[in-house]
């Protein structure tokens, strides 16, 4: 009965932008990268380039797959009501070290949009909390991002 009601509500509201079970690890990571890039309400070409580089590095994806993933993340971001489906996917699939590596990439992304905006730091802190990473991981990732070009 609940599934039927959920299906009917989904049809009326234009359906959920991202069904929880359909979220891949790469898609979830792309969404988090996009969230940080969008924190200052502007996504610059340099940030998109950094996102492409990060996705290619972390997930060994082809350029066409990365472009499709970013397009989908942008569409999902416009419809999304939160990050939980994405962080849940990552919590289920990644080790703490892999989550910290992703957090480091989120910090690296902030360097490509010009001056770091305090909203970007807030977005990364919120993501770290949702990934169950402690403050020490948050700071370690920030320092690691500063060391790596």
Q: Choose from 3-12, 15-24, 47-56, 106-115 the range with maximum mean pLDDT.
A: 47-56
Query: Between 85 and 4, where is the model more confident?
Result: 85
Which of 2, 5, 14 lies closest to 81 in space, CA to CA? 14
- Phi then psi dihedrals of residue 89, to 5 deg: -60, -45
**HSE, side-chain direction, 13 A CA sphere, residue 1:** 0
Other beta carbons within 10 angstroms of residue 131's beta carbon come to 24
Nearest in space to 25 (alpha carbons), one of 126, 123, 78, 101: 101
* 23 has a pLDDT exceeding 50: yes
Torsion of CA 98, 100, 103, 107, to 10 degrees: -130
Q: What percent of the chain has pLDDT over 70?
A: 81
């Amino acid at each position: 009965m609940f599934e039927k009601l959920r299906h009917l509500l989904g049809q009326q509201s234009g359906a959920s932008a991202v069904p929880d079970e359909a979220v891949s690890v790469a898609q979830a990571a792309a969404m988090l990268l996009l969230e940080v890039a969008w924190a200052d309400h502007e996504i610059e070409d340099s940030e998109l380039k950094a996102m492409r580089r990060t996705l290619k590095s972390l997930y060994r994806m082809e350029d066409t797959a990365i472009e499709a993933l970013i397009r989908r993340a942008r569409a999902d971001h416009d419809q999304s009501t939160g990050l939980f489906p994405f962080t849940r996917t990552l919590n289920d699939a990644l080790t703490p070290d892999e989550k910290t590596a992703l957090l480091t990439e989120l910090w690296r992304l902030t360097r490509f949009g010009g001056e770091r905006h305090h909203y970007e730091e807030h977005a990364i802190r919120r993501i770290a909390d949702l990934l169950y990473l402690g403050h020490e991981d948050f700071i370690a990732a920030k320092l690691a991002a500063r060391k790596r070009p």
